């Protein structure tokens, strides 16, 4: 959708390189009938505001595209439109060609990985441990899994797994991603053991994570893996919001405590607008006998599960043992059930 002839010429050239024909709509009125059924929609920067005013329905595989210098503030507009990606030309040309190739008649669209996010209702809630447990459980089930650490203040998910000594790329090496990340190359470059690959932070100076880097990385991950697990910060920055908007399901982990519930209410308020399937995991013990169902009702979220305290789990983490690695205990059982629900497989967990 564009009436910018210069942009249109570039997009037609890229579509030809990708081996596909395109339908042109100069404005939202002309695009409306083809908006939902199209496998991919590109909205030129000249039509971003008209698109917002037209209130076209949100859809997946929507890209805001324009030339450098014509997309400011491109990310803000893209968020309002519900666009998954912002493609800035000419830097994003190879990435756009790949997207056109995926839509070609000889290239059936790949099955995207199932993606889940975890965030804590308060500090120390156990969200990173649950995220690690989900990823380990998925890998034990022989699903190709990527665990993504989206919390720059979390200390590093490689520590949760006991992988801090493994070589491979960390986030700082990917912060300059410009819209195209080769999926196979990404998987090969990251720390891995078996079917589990981890993208974490290093111990260097803290750097902010651009939203385009997060979007490009998750796009590559969903093309290369079966399951993607994202550990989110409680305070959602732009990159974390991008990640949350891309997942199929998200869990807020909350200890069964009154103060934790009050803190979680703020987290839920910030996260709920960005995820259609947000639910609650309650972690025991409950010193005040607060019931999980009461906590869920207070927060206005469906209860996805509960998990009780495991003293052996904490000791294992201190020894560098990954959570749920042996497949036994309350955390492992919960992770297996949640994974079965996510992937649609029959549960074998107790």
pLDDT of residue 12: 92
Is the backbone peptide bond immediately before 273 cis, with ω within 30 degrees of 0?
A: no
Q: Exposed, middle or buried, 272 (CB in 10 Å: 0-12/13-18/19+)?
A: middle
Angle at 201 between CA 248 and CA 268, to 5 degrees: 40
Neighbours of 273 (CB within 10 A): 11
pLDDT at 206: 65
Name which of 127, 123, 120, 58 is nearest 270 in CA terms: 120
pTM metric for this prediction: 0.68
Mean pLDDT of the chain: 88
Per-residue model confidence (pLDDT) at position 219:
85
What pLDDT is attached to residue 110? 53
Residue 179, pLDDT score: 55
Give the Cα separation of 124 and 132 in Å (integer).
Answer: 14
The angle, 0 to 180 degrees and rounded to 10, between the axes of the packed helices 330-343 and 127-140 is 70
Mean pLDDT of 93-105: 85
pLDDT of 281: 97
Span 315-326, average pLDDT? 90
Is the CB of residue 256 less than 8 Å from the CB of residue 285? yes
Res 350: pLDDT: 34
Q: H helices within 104-237, ranges in order?
A: 127-140, 157-161, 183-189, 211-224
Backbone phi, then psi, for 249, in 5-degree steps?
A: -155, 150
Contacts of 7 (CB under 8 A, 6+ apart): 44, 45, 46, 65, 66, 67, 89
- What is d(CA 346, CA 341) in angstroms, rounded to the nearest whole number? 8
Q: What is the DSSP letter of 328?
A: -
Segment 279-308 shows an average pLDDT of: 94
């Amino acid at each position: 959708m564009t009436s910018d002839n210069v942009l249109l010429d570039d997009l037609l050239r890229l579509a030809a390189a990708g081996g596909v024909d395109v339908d042109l709509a100069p404005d939202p009125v002309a695009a409306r009938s083809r908006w939902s059924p199209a496998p991919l929609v590109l909205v030129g920067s000249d039509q971003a505001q008209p698109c917002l005013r037209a209130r076209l329905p949100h859809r997946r595989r929507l890209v805001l595209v324009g030339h450098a210098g014509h997309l400011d503030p491109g990310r803000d507009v893209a968020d309002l439109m519900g666009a998954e990606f912002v493609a800035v030309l000419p830097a994003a040309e190879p990435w756009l060609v790949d997207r056109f190739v995926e839509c070609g008649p000889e290239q059936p669209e790949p099955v995207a990985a199932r993606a889940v996010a975890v965030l804590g209702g308060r500090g120390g809630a156990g969200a990173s441990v649950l995220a690690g447990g989900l990823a380990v459980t998925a890998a034990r089930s022989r699903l190709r899994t990527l665990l993504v650490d989206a919390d720059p203040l979390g200390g590093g998910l490689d520590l949760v797994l006991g992988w801090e000594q493994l070589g491979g790329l960390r986030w700082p090496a990917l912060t300059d991603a410009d819209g195209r990340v080769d999926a196979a190359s990404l998987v090969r470059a990251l720390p891995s053991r078996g079917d589990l690959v981890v993208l974490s932070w290093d111990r260097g100076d803290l750097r902010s994570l651009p939203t385009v880097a997060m979007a490009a990385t998750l796009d590559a991950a969903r093309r290369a893996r079966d399951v993607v697990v994202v550990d989110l910060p409680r305070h959602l920055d732009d990159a974390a919001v991008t990640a949350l908007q891309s997942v199929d399901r998200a869990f807020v982990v909350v200890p069964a405590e009154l103060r934790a519930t009050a803190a979680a209410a703020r987290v839920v308020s910030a996260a709920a607008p960005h995820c259609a399937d947000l639910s609650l995991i309650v972690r025991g013990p409950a010193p005040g006998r607060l019931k999980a169902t009461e906590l869920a009702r207070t927060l206005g979220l469906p209860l996805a599960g509960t998990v009780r305290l495991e003293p052996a789990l904490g000791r294992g983490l201190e020894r560098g043992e990954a959570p749920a690695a042996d497949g036994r205990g309350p955390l492992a059982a919960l992770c297996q059930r949640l994974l079965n629900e996510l992937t649609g497989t029959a549960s074998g967990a107790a």
